[in-house]
């Protein structure tokens, strides 16, 4: 038991170290105003319902939200319910939403497809949760952490990129809801008040 606890603590520490480094600097990725990379816009990815979907397939009339996330990461877990609630809510407001898992499940078995299906069911997801089978979509976006949000306006231009809000562990103490504020703005045809924030999360475990 002690050995297992130490292993878990070490894994969490590695994840947290990567996140802390990224919290103090830009995560890079697509520049604001960019469109979904043409090379991957129509890449088909397996959804938890077994269907094959691309970002182009889910594009919304009011905008499109792409969130790179996963099952195992403590940061993704803390923000997961908020991400799902935002996705379900804004999908009904004309925003296309797709959650993308680019992690290699051989690195973390929790990120396997069956685990994704269970996650989607348990969290009440009404939005697609797909597998980036080569991590090619994440690479094209320049995504580096989970979770990491890319919100495109109705013209297909990147309007917001970054984290979810300013307090992952205590939802009731959140002061600035970066992604929600951006979604409200895009849904209304306006520019998000804060268009970009620093990434915070576990590094994506890219497939080789």
Q: What pLDDT digit, counting tens, does each position of 7-30 carry?
A: 444 444 444 434 433 333 344 789
* Residue span of the structural domain in which 134 resides: 2-203
Is 91 within the bounds of a domain? yes
Is 208 within the bounds of a domain? no
Scanning 142-202, the segments in alpha helix (DSSP H) are 178-187
Mean pLDDT value across residues 51-73? 98
Is 74 within the bounds of a domain? yes
**pLDDT in the model for residue 56:** 98
* Cα separation, 137 vs 56, whole angstroms: 12
Mean pLDDT value across residues 169-193? 97
Is 161 within the bounds of a domain? yes
**pLDDT in the model for residue 73:** 97
**pLDDT in the model for residue 93:** 95
pLDDT category at 207 given cuts 50, 70, 90 is very high
Is 150 within the bounds of a domain? yes
Q: What total number of domains does the chain contain?
A: 1
Residue 202 reports pLDDT greater than 70: yes
**pLDDT in the model for residue 174:** 97
Burial of 113 (0-12, 13-18, 19+ CB in 10 A): middle
* Cα separation, 2 vs 44, whole angstroms: 43
Q: What is the pTM of this model?
A: 0.88
Residue 155 reports pLDDT greater than 60: yes
Percentage of the residues of the chain whose pLDDT score is greater than 70: 87
* Cα separation, 24 vs 43, whole angstroms: 32
Burial of 42-61, coded b for 16+ CB within 10 Å and e otherwise, reads: ebebbbbeeeebbbebbbbe
- With contact defined as beta carbons under 8 Å apart, do 199 and 27 qualify? yes
pLDDT tens for residues 68-97? 999 999 999 999 999 999 999 999 999 999
Is 46 within the bounds of a domain? yes
- The enclosing domain of 16 has a CATH number of 3.40.30.10
Mean pLDDT value across residues 124-137? 97
């Amino acid at each position: 038991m002690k050995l297992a606890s130490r292993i878990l603590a070490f894994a969490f520490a590695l994840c947290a170290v990567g996140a802390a480094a990224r919290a103090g600097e830009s995560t890079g990725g697509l520049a604001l105003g960019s469109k979904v990379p043409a090379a991957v816009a129509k890449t088909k990815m397996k959804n938890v319902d077994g269907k094959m979907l691309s970002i182009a397939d889910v594009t919304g009339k009011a905008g499109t939200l792409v969130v790179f996330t996963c099952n195992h990461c403590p940061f993704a877990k803390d923000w997961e319910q908020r991400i799902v609630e935002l996705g379900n809510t804004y999908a009904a407001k004309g925003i296309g939403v797709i959650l993308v898992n680019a992690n290699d499940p051989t690195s973390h078995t929790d990120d396997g497809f069956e685990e994704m299906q269970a996650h989607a069911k348990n969290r009440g997801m009404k939005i697609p949760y797909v597998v980036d089978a080569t991590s090619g979509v994440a690479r094209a976006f320049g995504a580096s952490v989970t979770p990491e949000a890319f919100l495109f306006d109705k013209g297909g231009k990147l309007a917001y990129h970054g984290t979810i809000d300013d307090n992952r562990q205590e939802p009731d103490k959140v002061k600035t809801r970066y992604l929600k504020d951006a979604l409200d703005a895009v849904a209304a045809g306006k520019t998000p008040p804060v268009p970009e924030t620093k990434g915070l999360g576990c590094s994506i475990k890219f497939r080789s």
